[in-house]
Amino acid sequence: MNDFTQLFDPRAIAVVGVSEDLSRPSSQSVCALIKNDYAGAIYPINPKYEAFEGLPCFSSVLAVPGEIDLVVIGVPAKGVLPIVQECASKGVPFVLILSGGFRETGESGIALEKAVLQAAKAGGVRILGPNCLGFVNVHANVFAAFGSMTRPPQLVAGGVSLVTQSGGFGYSIALSCAEQGIGFRHVIATGNESDINSVHLVEALLADALTSSIVVYIEGVHDGRALLEVGRQAMKVGKPIFLWKGGVTEQGAKAAASHTASMTGRYDFYQALFKQTGIVEIQELSDAVDFLQAFAPRKFPNSNGVAVMGVSGGSAIVFADAGERVGLNVVELQESTQTKLSLVVPHMGAVHNPIDLTAGYFSMANQEKLEKALHAVLEDPQVDSLCVNLATTGKSGSLAAAQVLARVSQTTVKPIMIFSSAPKEEFSNAQTVLAQAGIPVLSSPSRVARAMGALLRYRQCQERMRMDEDNAYSSLSFKLEGLDALLAQELLTEVSSKSILSRIGIPFGEDVVLGLQELASPAAPSYPVVVKVISQDIPHKTEVGGVKVGVGSAKELSQAIQDILTSVGQRAPKARVEGLLISPMIQDGFEMIVGVIKDQVFGPVVVVGAGGIYTEVLSDLSCRLAPFGTQTAMEMIAELKCFAILQGARGRQSLDVPALANALVLLSHFAFEHQEHIVEIDINPLFVLPKGVVGADALIVLGGQD
Amino acid sequence: MNDFTQLFDPRAIAVVGVSEDLSRPSSQSVCALIKNDYAGAIYPINPKYEAFEGLPCFSSVLAVPGEIDLVVIGVPAKGVLPIVQECASKGVPFVLILSGGFRETGESGIALEKAVLQAAKAGGVRILGPNCLGFVNVHANVFAAFGSMTRPPQLVAGGVSLVTQSGGFGYSIALSCAEQGIGFRHVIATGNESDINSVHLVEALLADALTSSIVVYIEGVHDGRALLEVGRQAMKVGKPIFLWKGGVTEQGAKAAASHTASMTGRYDFYQALFKQTGIVEIQELSDAVDFLQAFAPRKFPNSNGVAVMGVSGGSAIVFADAGERVGLNVVELQESTQTKLSLVVPHMGAVHNPIDLTAGYFSMANQEKLEKALHAVLEDPQVDSLCVNLATTGKSGSLAAAQVLARVSQTTVKPIMIFSSAPKEEFSNAQTVLAQAGIPVLSSPSRVARAMGALLRYRQCQERMRMDEDNAYSSLSFKLEGLDALLAQELLTEVSSKSILSRIGIPFGEDVVLGLQELASPAAPSYPVVVKVISQDIPHKTEVGGVKVGVGSAKELSQAIQDILTSVGQRAPKARVEGLLISPMIQDGFEMIVGVIKDQVFGPVVVVGAGGIYTEVLSDLSCRLAPFGTQTAMEMIAELKCFAILQGARGRQSLDVPALANALVLLSHFAFEHQEHIVEIDINPLFVLPKGVVGADALIVLGGQD
């Protein structure tokens, strides 16, 4: 792992490019360091000046007498390279380049960025940037930054670190959080990421004792596998990552491409990665604020059973609506719970869930009753989290409720969250009590529901990762004898693709292969059958008329053979035809497609979806990064719209979902192990049967190791 | 229309149930009236007191010497009826019942509510409530309310009126808006709506000169048609309605049922109504805040073409992502626009869309350049709205930009919106300038995008309503000769259903009807055919084995006839079989279902969807309230997932969408005209062909006029 100690906690900082124009980035950085009492040495650098803002000013990095941990560069792009070379000579470990004018501006910028990076690498210098706002270590007052990051309001110290590819928008996230009292550790803008990238930084922050949660804004990463590892590590060490992925739509990606000239990568693969790691996706500034608060107590619900209580029926309904959409369940309370509640809830209220305490209930006079009500609900085994709607409850009622909630919260591992829409001046006393007790307060019932949904998904991911580890396939080797040689050498036809996949445990129907000389008197299997051309020159057989389905008799078979040969002869005249394949036609299963794509960013990804025209028209697909275990496979199947069909919708018989899951797991391990050879695998269709699955066509596409 | 003048602007208010306990609802109301200098007469009523808070206190409503426009009742439920009777005697036009303990508590409460309503009706008294927080006329300081509605902060006067079935949650909406400086006219909680309901109130507010926009929270309405009319009226008078529908999920609806004991109605029908009227659905408190601001200038984009400019690349990407999801299009700027921009945008920026002005651009020094840039973009004919991302721009930069934006905004009809995440203290000067210029400022780029999406949909709805009016089917009569008699008398079979639908212009295939005596030697049409049983006792033929598809020869036809008669004989032994129907099997179309449901709340609703198993499993359905025109029908088809198939996805031929739309329009008018007889219509399947449509099965279900 990268050691960024000297970057984040530099003992001495040199800032190149200070100017009497205090609006220049370098000037802003030095002013902020001075103003905020940065404890290390500050060396302003500009050959024009003797002094800058009361500090001695040096002519160059080399002229600085002492050691320097970090050099901040804010001069125009063309002046950056010699300074980096000086840093290399002096043995400076870290350089931060604020200046723009590199990769984002086109070809000459790309060349310049490359030259700077080479000089840095040659001299053992690590680079943050270029084209970035810099970073702030809030705990140590390191302001290696400019623009909004050095302007008021000053962030307060806390446990949240932020890593962002967009300084401007990232800092908008920080400001939104700061407004709600959230404190920060490091705020880091990465810009063009010529050397140090977001994933390196997140990895380092996971090891930073003062960072407890990490917020990330990215447009794209180059190494999806590194992000996968960092995400898994984050789950292991219990530091949640809240990630906003920009450029997730066609238009957003286009905008991103012009922004930092970086590829954004396939969003569905990112989403798969988030699900596989527990990285929490955020899509609005309020998500960052809400989720940071919701996760802060580190209490996670063991099930989706939730109770909602309060003084506003409408708020409970809105909570239930939003809750259902994120998988929460407003559960029935046990009889005994309702009995206990009936002793402390007014007759006109409701002791079933949602629990209606009636208007005006939250008051000093009712504190004892409320405490009993809360205990009763939290002790109900069906309830694993609780939303309390204070809604518009005023000053004294809110405080009364807060005091009770603070006491009760200490006695339970179940998460409790509050909705209040009381104005700040009415709610500040209650807020203080609740904040001390670590009880999140959000500003709408639907936001509470979504935050609880995030807690639940995180908990479920944790559990799934544990189960998949227990069921690891690591003992199973897919390096079957001779497979590597086969994969390395051959162009694969349907026949050889099926043969390989059969060997790893994916069943296919019993095919009959007809050589060219056997076509006149074909062997007759049981009808109906599918007839397909065999040729390594024809990967997409349907497109050249190389497939006939529903062939029902010997006569039809002869006709089908003729038709195929004629059509292929016309539409793919150069293809070398080896023969024909006759396969049983499978009729009592559901047609799906299963495949593997080797992605540039994410490596092998397994995809499953409903077959036929609906696959692409309805985009009924789900994917995960290979390899994975059974729980993950089951989850990806359950995401599909056609899952209801597999389960036996509308009186149909239910199909063998576990067998499908097993096929996905096998395929994921196989594809991962042989990723150096396999570019793509298509099993299309794969029929899910009442018992088992059976593939009807398959193709493995091989590629070089480039 | 109801005249609520005396309710909203009462010259004299009597409040029954004041008490020395000032926390009691009636006491709170009187205290608020006094404190806020309500100009009319206030009559506290309680036989126990001579005076209340310095006012003479009366023993009863009848004891009050002068006329009373409004009596507010805050006594326990069982004491309400006699007071209402007194109000009737005295000729009081309006009574507001704050008290709970009515319908929401069960049977005895229902009876009590009914008795109170009867007494009121008999005496010409209109009732608001019971079980509600009351209302506030902010302009006239009428505080006929208690709880949060009488607590600080005081709402400022403005043009927004709020109608809410949930006082608590509704007031949370008001507080969120108030926090952003939005001013109010009336805030009205309707509670149980025993008499005056939300729709009555919205209708009255549309005629209120001081109300410009209306926010509504409802869980359900009894008369969906009244809401439809009010929604259409709102569009006509240009007062947008922002509506939050609570209880839209299964769990939410369950919670709502226990809250005010009201049915919530089918959410998809509500959504159809919103689309047909331009009622803007809100689903978060921030939506209310954002949309009210966005709609305030009454500037609507003529197309989805949007430009985004600013100093934060990340913000533009986030805007583009959110924009694509709501149908905006970050358009290519014309060459000439880009040329103009290149004169005023720094070289390192970008003159294509999103326009990158580069960090620090917003400044007093750049005001002239910014003005030129804005004009260039707004004059581009592709651009119909503009988002300017100030992002974290500080005090002086924001003010500089605001001044220019205020000037430029006066010169254009295109909506401009701002994203700023600068802290309040940094942004207040700019905010003042922008507010005066009527330029909305929202707190994230994605919120700007969603608000722009709402403006666009509103504009599109306006346009569609205009086009559908032009294409009105009002001249077309569906009262074909003899149809009413037929609909009133007969139980309909497939044959008679098809015959009726054919007469209104929906085509069906040429069927052959075989009487029971003709079954031995069936007439042979061109194969393949579908064979179906005819029996008015068998509405769902498939379920009893009464249908055979793909019958390909005379031999198969004989077999099919036997099979059907055997199966029907076993599975529906009591059904009277009239014969068999032989229909051509349609093979080159796409199978859909089209139908009408007569809903208790909404009346006849037309539904269209993809046919086969996908209909219900994938819920690929879309609906609109009948009757409607071609534009609406086209829109409902375009919503379907299978729309891509109809358009000719993946190289298929495109199918006749206009013919499908025409069928929906015809059906909608027919069903609407005969709603007293028709309970349900199913055309399943209806095939959409390359040219035209053809139904293959149909059923009209009739019902009494109850």
Contacts of residue B174, defined as CB under 8 A and 6 or more positions apart, other chains included, come to: B155, B162, B184, B187, B215
Within 8 A of B109 by CB-CB distance, chain A residues are none
Check residue B58 and report its DSSP letter.
B
- Angstrom CA distances, A520 to A515, A533, A581, stand at 10, 15, 14
Question: Chain B: residue nearest A249 by CA?
Answer: B321
Interchain contact B426–A (C-beta under 8 A): yes
Contacts of residue B440, defined as CB under 8 A and 6 or more positions apart, other chains included, come to: B290, B293, B294, B296, B297, B417, B418, B434, B451
Copy the structure tokens of residue A698: 């398959």
Check CB contact under 8 Å for B151 and A251: no
Interchain contact B330–A (C-beta under 8 A): yes
CATH 2.60.40.10 for domain B1-132, yes or no, is no
**Amino acid A511: pLDDT:** 85
Copy the structure tokens of residue B698: 């149909």
Asked whether the beta carbons of A601 and A269 are under 8 A apart, the reply is yes
Residue A258 has pLDDT above 80, yes or no: no
For the segment B394-416, the average pLDDT, to the nearest whole number, is 97
Given this chain, do its domains A297-467 and A510-584 carry the same CATH topology? no
For the segment A144-170, the average pLDDT, to the nearest whole number, is 94
Torsion of CA B406, B407, B410, B413, to 10 degrees: -80
Identify the weakest region by mean pLDDT among A10-24, A80-94, A540-554, B562-576: A540-554
**Amino acid B613: pLDDT:** 65
Asked whether the beta carbons of A215 and A158 are under 8 A apart, the reply is no
Q: Which CATH class is domain B510-584?
A: alpha beta
**Amino acid A113: pLDDT:** 97
**Amino acid B85: pLDDT:** 97
Residue B189 has pLDDT above 50, yes or no: yes
**Amino acid A472: pLDDT:** 57
Asked whether the beta carbons of B256 and B212 are under 8 A apart, the reply is no
Picking from A300, A291, A36, A297, the residue whose alpha carbon sits closest to that of residue A177 is A291
Asked whether the beta carbons of A47 and A19 are under 8 A apart, the reply is no
Contacts of residue B485, defined as CB under 8 A and 6 or more positions apart, other chains included, come to: none
Residues facing A693 on adjacent strands: A688
**Amino acid B333: pLDDT:** 97
**Amino acid A641: pLDDT:** 87
Q: What is the DSSP string of A110-130?
A: HHHHHHHHHHHHHTT-EEE-S
**Amino acid B348: pLDDT:** 85
CA distance B666 to A469: 60
CATH 3.40.190.10 for domain A1-131, yes or no, is no
Residues facing A418 on adjacent strands: A388, A441
Angle between helices A313-325 and B250-260 (to 10 degrees): 170
Interchain contact B81–A (C-beta under 8 A): no
Interchain contact B219–A (C-beta under 8 A): yes
Q: A142-145 and B698-702 as β-strands: parallel, antiparallel, unpaired?
A: unpaired
CA distance A214 to A162: 6
Residue B523 has pLDDT above 80, yes or no: no
Judged by DSSP in three states, A470 sits in helix
Residue A585 has pLDDT above 90, yes or no: no
Asked whether the beta carbons of A380 and A369 are under 8 A apart, the reply is no
CA distance B96 to B71: 6
How many Å lie between the alpha carbon of A172 and the closest alpha carbon of chain B? 6
Copy the structure tokens of residue B441: 């400022």
* Helix-strand-coil split of chain B, %, nearest 5: 40, 20, 40
For the segment A262-283, the average pLDDT, to the nearest whole number, is 92
Question: Chain B: residue nearest A173 by CA?
Answer: B421
Instruction: Give the residue, B377 or B514, on which the prediction is more confident.
Output: B377
Residue B312 has pLDDT above 90, yes or no: no
Interchain contact B333–A (C-beta under 8 A): no
Interchain contact A445–B (C-beta under 8 A): yes
pLDDT in tens, B320-344: 999 999 999 999 999 999 999 999 9
Interchain contact A422–B (C-beta under 8 A): yes
Asked whether the beta carbons of A317 and B247 are under 8 A apart, the reply is yes
Copy the structure tokens of residue B615: 């209909």
pLDDT in tens, B8-50: 999 999 999 999 999 999 999 999 999 999 999 999 999 999 9
pLDDT in tens, A677-692: 899 999 999 999 999 9
Q: What is the band of B706 on the pLDDT scale with cuts at 50, 70, 90?
A: very low
pLDDT in tens, A349-391: 999 999 999 888 999 999 999 999 999 999 999 999 999 999 9
Cα end-to-end distance, chain A, whole Å: 26
Residue B648 has pLDDT above 90, yes or no: no
Q: What is the amino acid identity at position B9? A: D
The strand ranges marked E within B239-338 are 241-245, 280-281, 305-310, 329-330
Mutate to test the interface with B, among A172, A304, A425, A616 (most CBs of B within 10 A): A172
Asked whether the beta carbons of A220 and A264 are under 8 A apart, the reply is yes
CATH architecture of A297-467: 3-Layer(aba) Sandwich (3.40)
Q: A70-73 and A12-16 as β-strands: parallel, antiparallel, unpaired?
A: parallel
Asked whether the beta carbons of B432 and B269 are under 8 A apart, the reply is no
CA distance A681 to A593: 11
Asked whether the beta carbons of B78 and B112 are under 8 A apart, the reply is yes
For the segment B109-138, the average pLDDT, to the nearest whole number, is 96
pLDDT in tens, B408-449: 999 999 999 999 999 998 999 999 999 999 999 999 999 999
CA distance A355 to A309: 4
Asked whether the beta carbons of B275 and B461 are under 8 A apart, the reply is yes
**Amino acid B265: pLDDT:** 83
Q: How crowded is residue A257: how many other Cβ atoms within 10 Å of its Cβ?
A: 16
Check CB contact under 8 Å for B175 and A613: no
CA distance A251 to B330: 7
Within 8 A of A179 by CB-CB distance, chain B residues are 423
pLDDT in tens, B84-102: 999 999 999 999 999 999 9
Percentage of chain A surpassing pLDDT 90? 75
Residue with tokens 């694509």: B324
Within 8 A of B317 by CB-CB distance, chain A residues are 166, 169, 219, 246-247, 252, 255-256, 259
Contacts of residue A212, defined as CB under 8 A and 6 or more positions apart, other chains included, come to: A159, A160, A239
Within 8 A of B248 by CB-CB distance, chain A residues are 321
Interchain contact A290–B (C-beta under 8 A): no
| The model's pTM | 0.93
Judged by DSSP in three states, B269 sits in helix
Check CB contact under 8 Å for B175 and A423: yes
Residue B480 has pLDDT above 70, yes or no: no
Within 8 A of A450 by CB-CB distance, chain B residues are none
**Amino acid A706: pLDDT:** 46
Copy the structure tokens of residue A326: 């994120």
CATH architecture of B152-296: 3-Layer(aba) Sandwich (3.40)
How many Å lie between the alpha carbon of B262 and the closest alpha carbon of chain A? 12
Q: How crowded is residue B629: how many other Cβ atoms within 10 Å of its Cβ?
A: 21
Q: A441-442 and B55-56 as β-strands: parallel, antiparallel, unpaired?
A: unpaired
Burial of B290 (0-12, 13-18, 19+ CB in 10 A): buried
Distance of CA B167 to the CA centre of its chain: 20
CA distance A34 to A18: 13
Interchain contact A251–B (C-beta under 8 A): yes
Picking from A591, A553, A543, the residue whose alpha carbon sits closest to that of residue A695 is A591
Residue A475 has pLDDT above 60, yes or no: no
Instruction: Give the residue, A476 or B74, on which the prediction is more confident.
Output: B74
Check CB contact under 8 Å for B176 and A421: yes
Check residue A642 and report its DSSP letter.
T
Question: What are the extents of the domains in chain B?
Answer: 1-132, 152-296, 298-449, 510-584, 590-702
Asked whether the beta carbons of A256 and B317 are under 8 A apart, the reply is yes
CATH 3.40.640.10 for domain B298-449, yes or no, is no
Topology adopted by domain B590-702? D-amino Acid Aminotransferase; Chain A, domain 1 (3.30.470)
Instruction: Give the residue, A539 or A668, on which the prediction is more confident.
Output: A668
Residue with tokens 């619900």: A301
Identify the weakest region by mean pLDDT among A20-29, A219-228, A556-565, B270-279: A556-565
pLDDT in tens, B446-466: 999 999 999 999 999 999 998
Check CB contact under 8 Å for A219 and B286: no
Q: What is the band of A551 on the pLDDT scale with cuts at 50, 70, 90?
A: confident
pLDDT in tens, A618-647: 778 999 999 999 999 999 999 998 898 899
> What mean pLDDT is reported for chain A?
92
For the segment B379-384, the average pLDDT, to the nearest whole number, is 98
Residue with tokens 């009757």: B627
Q: What is the DSSP string of B484-523?
A: HHHHHHPPP-HHHHHHHHHHTT--B---EEEEGGGTTS--
CA distance B511 to B532: 10
